[in-house]
Amino acid sequence: MTTAAEVPPDLVVDFDVYDPSLAFPVDTVQERVAELAAKGPVVYSTAHGGHWIVTRYKEIHEVLRDPETFSSYPNNLVTTTAGFGKFIPIELDPPEHTGYRLALQPLFSPTRMKALEDDIRGVVNELIDGFSGKGEAEFIAEFAHELPTRVFLALMDWPIEDAPVFTDATDIILTGVPGASEEESNQARGEAAFTMLGYFQNMINERRQNPGTDVTSQLIHTEFQLDGGKRLLTDEELNRMFFLLLIAGLHTVQGSLAWSVIHLANNPDRRQQIIDDDSVIPTAVEEILRIEAAVIPGRRATRATELGGFPIGEGDQLILMLCSANRDPAEFEDPKELDLYRLPNRHLSFGAGAHRCIGSHLARIELKLALEEIHRRIPDYALVESDPPVMHSSQVRGCARLPIVFTPER
């Protein structure tokens, strides 16, 4: 494995993607990562035992599409499951990954996701109903966290009243405990993970006895092509799969909803484009996804190789700054500009290759419907200067708090 002593000094940095100081102000991560990208396509961080940070589109795309050289396990620099096991299927490499991916794919098909649109729009409007008459809201707690949580519960057909169970647990798993040591945060992550696993096991037991047409029942009762034959998923496999579906779907959408509001509030001319013609919303969604990618996936080199002209050692850990790739001037014209009509828009926010996000269709629908209804009902929202957004820094970037004001709906 490569050490800092083997790397040219100008490429050694102390950047830590989990550093709490990256959370404020809003643009801190993008500014710091732009500085890294200016040094080169790959730099070496001394944080978390040492790892490479890949900053540019070409090299990140190369890593994402080469699972033989760059394993997706471990995906995280820090422990999130207390030794429970690999996330399924994101931390499995082909060919082992393939069977699990095929098992999930029909459940998240564009047709199936489109059938959920009316239900999702209903949830969007129900949440807006809760604050639209007040003229102010804390957008995360009252909308951006609640929407993907409720959609996930509806998709799995789990009780909607259990939504609060997921709030603290997912926050701790992704960002640790504010102000705590890394050891204390990892212990809390383990406890939160096993809280979630206990909940999942209860749902598995219930659906084994009372199957339905929901995603949970289909995953439990369908035989899939795995290990060279057809078989049912084990309880452990189901737990690890549910864990990933929950973590992957909540904070990513929450962050993208927050960035939508932040960027459009700061670019009123762009917001007016949506108000005047909501047919721009599909390309606006892609542009929001491009300008602020939420996920920073990890990879590990399975052999000695070269990336961006630099030697990578066998066993070296890498993280891929998708938010930086999406602002690479070699790939995007005026990459810092919010262009709601941008075409083509080959952003990497959903990844690429074998592990491209299986929930991308659902995420797009949630963002599209949210933007439609927000700009129909409270279009003049603004940030609160005295109480600015608070972001959170981890390998899933996002927003923890976002106060807004607007003209109350009558």
Average pLDDT over residues 246-270: 95
Residue 170 has pLDDT above 90, yes or no: no
Average pLDDT over residues 156-161: 90
Amino acid found at 390: V
Residue 328 has pLDDT above 90, yes or no: yes
Structure confidence at residue 83 (pLDDT): 54
DSSP per residue, 19-37: -GGGGSSTTHHHHHHHHHH
pLDDT band at 193 (very low <50, low <70, confident <90, very high): confident
pLDDT tens readout for residues 33-92: 999 999 999 999 999 999 999 999 999 999 999 999 999 999 989 865 555 678 899 999
Residue 134 has pLDDT above 90, yes or no: yes
Nearest residue to 15 via CA among 46, 49, 57 = 46
Mean pLDDT over each residue of the chain, to the nearest integer: 93
pLDDT tens readout for residues 387-397: 999 998 889 99
Structure confidence at residue 171 (pLDDT): 77
pLDDT tens readout for residues 217-243: 999 999 999 988 999 999 999 998 998
Of the listed ranges 20-34, 59-73, 342-356, the least confidently predicted one is 20-34
Its pTM stands at: 0.94
Structure confidence at residue 218 (pLDDT): 92
**What percent of the chain is helix, strand and coil (3-state, nearest 5)?**
50, 10, 35
For the ranges 21-35, 78-92, 141-155, 337-351, the one whose mean pLDDT is highest:
337-351
Of the listed ranges 127-131, 160-164, 379-383, the least confidently predicted one is 160-164
Structure confidence at residue 106 (pLDDT): 85
Residue 388: both structure tokens together: 């600015």
Contact assessment for residue 367 and residue 349, using Cβ atoms and an 8 Å cutoff: no
Rounded (10°) angle between helices 146-156 and 163-175: 120
pLDDT band at 363 (very low <50, low <70, confident <90, very high): very high
Residue 17 CA to residue 296 CA, distance in Å, equals: 9
Structure confidence at residue 80 (pLDDT): 56
Residue 308 CA to residue 181 CA, distance in Å, equals: 34
Peptide bond into 94 cis (omega under 30): no
CATH 1.10.630.10 applies to domain 4-405: yes
Average pLDDT over residues 364-393: 96
Structure confidence at residue 373 (pLDDT): 98
Q: Which residue matches tokens 């949440």?
A: 127
Average pLDDT over residues 169-187: 80
Contact assessment for residue 224 and residue 233, using Cβ atoms and an 8 Å cutoff: yes
Q: List residues bridging with 405 in a β-sheet.
A: 136, 382
Residue 371 CA to residue 274 CA, distance in Å, equals: 9
Structure confidence at residue 24 (pLDDT): 83
Average pLDDT over residues 15-43: 93
Domain boundaries, the chain: 4-405
Question: For residue 196, what are the contacts with CB-CB under 8 A and spacing of at least 6?
Answer: 166, 169, 173, 243, 246
Average pLDDT over residues 155-183: 82
Residue 203 has pLDDT above 80, yes or no: yes
